[in-house]
Amino acid sequence: MTKLNKTRPVFTGSEDEKERREVAKEELAAWNLYVDQREAELPEKYEISEQRAGSVKSIFKRLSDRKTNLLPSRKVLDLHHQFISAIRFDIKIDPENMA
């Protein structure tokens, strides 16, 4: 995260498009590294199974634009709804909260 703290002022303070583009690439690489590090820190119980990841990918393919392979922001809620409708969550309720 410290790398992002250093690049953000450079990006916002620069008028040069080429420099901003380079800084943006550095920021994206830093964010990807951060996400990978945080993912490695997660306990196993939070890992997404291949079956669930495949389910999200298939829904994404159905909803995304065929030419650009991008999902318009207006369809993100539809993706979540279709994913949640297709799976069943077993929510554990603590007996102490039932009183």
The pLDDT value recorded for residue 77 is: 93
Count of Cβ atoms closer than 10 Å to residue 22 Cβ = 15
pTM of structure: 0.51
- Average pLDDT for the chain: 84
Residue with tokens 């369809």: 75
Condensed to tens digits (0 to 9), the pLDDT of residues 2-36 reads: 666 777 777 778 788 888 888 889 889 989 999 99
CA dist., res. 23 & res. 10, Å (int): 7
Structure tokens given for 2? 């410290």
Condensed to tens digits (0 to 9), the pLDDT of residues 39-71 reads: 899 888 888 888 888 988 999 999 998 899 999
CA dist., res. 57 & res. 61, Å (int): 6
Burial class for 23, CB neighbours closer than 10 Å (0-12, 13-18, 19+): buried
The pLDDT value recorded for residue 1 is: 57
The pLDDT value recorded for residue 94 is: 77
Q: Where are the domains of the chain?
A: 2-45, 48-86
